[in-house]
Amino acid sequence: MNKSIILGLGHYIPPKVVTNHDLAKLMDTSDEWIRQRTGIVERHYVENGVGNTEMSYEATHMALKEAGLRIQDIDCIILATLSPDYTFPGTACFLQEKLGVPGIPAIDLRQQCTGFIYGLSIADQFIKSGMYQKILVIGTEVHSTGLEFATRGRDVTVLFGDGAACAIVGVSKKEDGKGILSTHLHADGRYARELWTEAPSCKSHPRMTQKHLDEGSWYPKMNGRAVFVSAVKKFEEVIQEALEKNEVKISDVSLFIFHQANLRIVQAVCEKMGIPLEKTFNNIQKYGNTTAASIPLALSEAWQEGKIKKGDLVCLSAFGSGFTWASALIRW
């Protein structure tokens, strides 16, 4: 059976920086509150007219360069986002058009914060089965056009930022134990309404009403405490699951990359599990929560900064809306 390896990583962050101080001018919040509760200092927002397609295009070209590949080498696109450019068709189709590779499959995933690991897992199965050889897996998010810039939405608005990042997954030619060792996917829809956006909805006639606009139900809503508590629990479970499956210990892992939702969540999980904080890579300070982009963005930056070396064992883990949670263990 084929084994999957990551051939290249890429990311793109829009240039416009929005600091906590900038947000404090628009709503009742403060730099101190945001830093203390989340670790976030600033985030980036796209300019008008830029969407997931444009950001993903840039991230893809960085990954292709890194992998020494041409776009014609890619035979499948998997794109994870909760903020698609349009309701339909999927953003992967628009990206495929922009990349100029008509004909190859273009798949959208809707798994929010765990979207990238779900995508990685699907790519891994395609590679193992021999169906595709070089798969572009992207996580991308434009939150800034869907946030409420007023005190009513402050608990959610201060958390999120825009960005795109990706990995090219290919076939390992060597029997050296390197590559994606395992992936672990979970969901529990009983908690779907703890972090969601209610409108527009096809259950409503019409999908968007004046009431939705007045009540702000087209903005994301979150039960922050419930999400926080479940996140700490499920991160631990799903990391443990990956370690047990591969019969390795925390001390065998070189780097833990957590979905960047809140620095306090990372600290709480590390404390519970005995993971030294130095073994984690965090960039939430600069980007906020970029949801599906967060894990590949951290992975790509960690790689660029030389934090991942050949032979390292890297553990990815995520938790978010759905609820969904997932992990992956990769030998670099």
Residues that bind ligand UT7 (CB under 6 A): 29, 33, 37-38, 113, 154-155, 158, 224-225, 227-228, 231, 261-262, 265, 289, 291, 320-321
**Could you tell me the strand order of the sheet in which 324-331 lies?**
179-187, 324-331, 313-320, 255-258
Q: Name which of 106 and 109 has its Cβ closer to ligand UT7.
A: 109
Q: Name which of 127 and 165 has its Cβ closer to ligand UT7.
A: 165
Q: Name which of 105 and 146 has its Cβ closer to ligand UT7.
A: 146
Residue 214: how many CB atoms within 10 A of its CB? Answer: 8
Which DSSP letter does residue 144 get?
G
In the complex, the smallest distance separating the C-beta of residue 91 from ligand UT7, rounded to whole angstroms, is 19
107: number of CA atoms within 13 Å, CB side?
18
Beta bridge partner(s), residue 43: 18
- Alpha-carbon distance of 160 to 164, in angstroms, equals 13
Q: Name which of 225 and 310 has its Cβ closer to ligand UT7.
A: 225
Based on its alpha-carbon atoms, the radius of gyration of the chain, rounded to whole angstroms, reads 19
In the complex, the smallest distance separating the C-beta of residue 315 from ligand UT7, rounded to whole angstroms, is 18
Active site residues: 113, 259, 289
In the complex, the smallest distance separating the C-beta of residue 309 from ligand UT7, rounded to whole angstroms, is 29
In the complex, the smallest distance separating the C-beta of residue 311 from ligand UT7, rounded to whole angstroms, is 31
213: number of CA atoms within 13 Å, CB side?
5
92, 98 contact by CB (below 8 A): no
239, 257 contact by CB (below 8 A): no
Residue 114: how many CB atoms within 10 A of its CB? Answer: 33
In the complex, the smallest distance separating the C-beta of residue 321 from ligand UT7, rounded to whole angstroms, is 6
- Which amino acid would we find at residue 52? N
76-80 and 134-141: which strand pairing? parallel
In the complex, the smallest distance separating the C-beta of residue 232 from ligand UT7, rounded to whole angstroms, is 9
- Which amino acid would we find at residue 80? A
91, 54 contact by CB (below 8 A): no
Q: Name which of 8 and 39 has its Cβ closer to ligand UT7.
A: 39
The residue number whose beta carbon is nearest to ligand UT7 equals 224
